[in-house]
């Protein structure tokens, strides 16, 4: 499924995210809605992705026209979740307005395909990227920058200002 990029935001961030920027994340999601963005793509990994999904669910309480789309790397992805992470995944997945599974099989390729899907279907990418040069978040931020998407990095380090706010 292809989405209108003009109203679509995607999220990317580290799995180690533990809520450090939740307040800022909610503020940015609300500001993006005020700018006309009403569709949000969540990559569904634990950490920042699911925190972003929950921020969108909060926005949906006041603005039910907001769409949250779960972009799932592969079938069986949920089996990788345990405990509180599994509960958070269920909370987001159960309320999402749609789901897109990008690969039949797991493995690194499925995550790259998911990240490509996020960037290729959004005009804004909200990240929680610590500047590490390798990994899925770095790949997604680089791809977003190359595609000229607006990138908003919420990681609290002024050295990482991407100049796309």
Confidence of residue 27 (pLDDT cuts 50, 70, 90): very high
Tell whether 165 is covered by a domain.
Answer: no
- Report the Cα 150 to chain-centroid distance in Å: 14
pLDDT given for residue 157 in this prediction: 75
- pTM for this prediction: 0.92
Indicate whether 142 pLDDT > 60: yes
Tell whether 114 is covered by a domain.
Answer: yes
Q: pLDDT by residue (tens digit) across 40-55?
A: 999 999 999 999 999 9
* Strand residue runs (E) in the chain: 8-13, 39-42, 67-72, 98-101, 124-128, 150-153
State the total domains in the chain.
1
Q: Which domain holds residue 112?
A: 5-160
Tell whether 156 is covered by a domain.
Answer: yes
Tell whether 95 is covered by a domain.
Answer: yes
What's the whole-number average pLDDT of the chain? 93
CA distances from 43 to 92, 99, 163 (A): 11, 10, 24
Q: pLDDT by residue (tens digit) across 68-120?
A: 999 999 999 999 999 999 999 999 999 999 999 999 999 999 999 999 999 99
129: Cα within 13 Å, side-chain hemisphere: 25
CA distance 152 to 141: 10
């Amino acid at each position: 499924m292809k989405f209108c990029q003009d109203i679509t935001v995607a999220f990317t961030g580290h799995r180690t995210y533990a809520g450090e920027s939740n307040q800022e994340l909610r503020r940015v999601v609300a500001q993006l809605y005020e700018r006309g963005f009403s569709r949000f793509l969540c990559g569904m990994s634990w950490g920042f992705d699911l925190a972003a999904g929950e921020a969108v669910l909060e926005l949906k309480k006041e603005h039910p026209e907001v769409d949250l789309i779960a972009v799932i790397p592969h079938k069986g992805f949920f089996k990788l979740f345990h405990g509180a992470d599994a509960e958070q995944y269920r909370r987001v997945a159960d309320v999402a307005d749609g789901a897109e599974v990008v690969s039949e099989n797991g493995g690194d390729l499925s995550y790259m395909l998911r990240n490509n899907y996020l960037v290729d279907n959004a005009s804004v990418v909200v990240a929680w990227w610590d500047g590490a040069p390798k990994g899925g978040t770095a790949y997604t931020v680089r791809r977003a920058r190359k595609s000229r998407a607006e990138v908003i990095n919420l990681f609290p380090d002024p050295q990482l200002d991407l100049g796309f706010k």
